[in-house]
Amino acid sequence: MSKFKLFAANAAMESELTNEAKIQVLGFLKEASDAQVKSFIMDGKISVLDEQAEQIVNDRFEAIHREAVEQEIMNESVGGSLLGIAISPAGWLIYRGVRRAFDGCTKKCGTLKLDNIKRQNCMTACKIEKLNKELGLLSKSMAACKDDGCKAKAAKAISKQKVKISQAKAKLAKIQHKGGSYKKVKK
């Protein structure tokens, strides 16, 4: 199975398609040419292609790939996901699958989406939400402390948490300045 078929099959399995539709897509992918799979990856639909159309799809795919790599190099707005896909598509899928299992933000912001500005914005906003929840728990634990040593440790942890939140908000502002806007976070 080619790396493109593996990527497309995983994307189909992670999609919100019905089980019957997923089975049909997997059947198509099993018999599809690389150009048909690339077309499916780019457009999200099954296509029957003649030789001329296959060449157009291959050229379009290469242009998109080249543009994405250039964008990553020029302004780092597409993170390491393209590099991961280029080096080892199967490894990238496994990595994202593990991240999805243990990180709610990865699941919320798209397991298989490229790490573009919109996804970075979503991931950072989600991280800020998590940090704020942790800050609330730390504040409750500080209120429950009886002795001064416990309160001092809790105050130190709260201070560190506030620094993390400030850093995440600065990162979010930088991402939004680049042009991504997923969700505004309350200050």
- pLDDT, tens digit (0-9, with 9 covering 90-100), for 53-76: 889 888 887 777 666 555 544 444
User: 130: buried, middle or exposed (CB in 10 Å: 19+, 13-18, 0-12)?
Assistant: middle
pTM of the complete model: 0.47
DSSP state of 128: H
Nearest to 129 by CA among 108, 159, 110: 108
pLDDT in tens, 84-136: 555 556 666 666 666 666 678 887 887 767 667 788 888 889 989 988 998 88
Cα separation, 29 vs 99, in Å, equals 26
Q: Is residue 142 within 8 Å of residue 160, measured between CB atoms?
A: no
Token pair for residue 15? 């999609």
CA 167 to mean position of chain CA atoms: 20
